[in-house]
Structure 1
């Protein structure tokens, strides 16, 4: 997964009228320049002041998580979500977006801080492999001596772990 830079969340704003007339006129607007959705839409209106009641068309966007923007729609809580995500460390931010993109949360709905709390309960950590995660779990067990651990089948154990209790993507491990 490509890491996104929340501070560089940009939207190319045109209008449907201009697009239908064959013009792609618009401008890249950086969401960090605005405090809320109302201020952002005011800037969009000023950009397209040559139209009465412009119908904005978000023709392209960068560094905005899935579910917060579409061609003609910007989530009500996009600024709150972007602020909350900027407070997460880079590794946790990447893991959070993976967790959301795997159907565990819808960023456009619900309280972002509740979603982050749910994520923190589900997220284990980042590992080089699923087998490394299995090795750590076995390493923490007091009921297995070093002799037993050296003959332990970590690959098979990892396979079993990730068939039920856990899932992973790009090295990030989560509870199911």
Structure 2
């Protein structure tokens, strides 16, 4: 899943009526301007008030996972998810989408707050590789003398850590749940 910055999500909103008459008339709407789906649809109605009973067509979009939008639909969960990831920094947001993809979470259906809670529980940080994480574990958890660290097999220790307890994807480490 490509990384998305949900706070920068935008949608180009036209209508099927205009499209069928050869017009791509519409506008980009910045979803950060709306607190929820109803407020967003109110802006769509205002934008296309020249059309009676307009059927909105989302002709293009940016920074929205495909599972949360289609040509004629936007998930209610988009707004909840956008608000839930607001407290995550850019690296954590990237890790969140890696985690969601790896775990096959359905962003359109699952409760955003629970997703964030579970992500925070499993996320361990960004590392160059599994061995880099193993170095940190040794430093934090074991009081090895310097001479012992030169003999320690970090590669094998990392292999053992990632057999069951952790997983690594795209530079991020997560606790296996």
Same fold (TM over 0.5): yes
Partner of 2:44: 44
CA contact (8 A) 1:80 1:112 kept: yes
Q: Does 1:70 align with 2:78?
A: no
**Structure 2: unaligned runs, 5 residues or longer:** none
Q: CA RMSD in A?
A: 2.3
Distance 2:17 2:5 in 1: 31
Partner of 1:9: 9
Distance 1:142 1:135 in 2: 10
Residue 103 to residue 54, structure 1, CA distance change in 2 (3 Å): farther
Partner of 2:110: 110
Partner of 1:158: 158
User: CA offset at residue 175 of structure 1?
Assistant: 1.6
Decide which moves more: 44-53 or 138-147.
138-147
Distance 1:143 1:81 in 2: 41
Residue deviations 1:34-57, cap 9 Å, x none?
222111111112222233322222
User: CA offset at residue 149 of structure 1?
Assistant: 2.9
Residue 53 to residue 163, structure 1, CA distance change in 2 (3 Å): farther
Partner of 1:172: 172
CA contact (8 A) 1:66 1:101 kept: no
Decide which structure has greater helix share: 2
Decide which moves more: 99-108 or 81-90.
99-108
TM-score by length of 2: 0.84
**Structure 1: unaligned runs, 5 residues or longer:** none
Distance 2:137 2:66 in 1: 33
TM-score by length of 1: 0.85
After the TM superposition, which residues 13-32 of structure 1 pair with which residues of structure 2 at under 5 Å, given as runs?
13-32=13-32
Count, aligned residues: 176
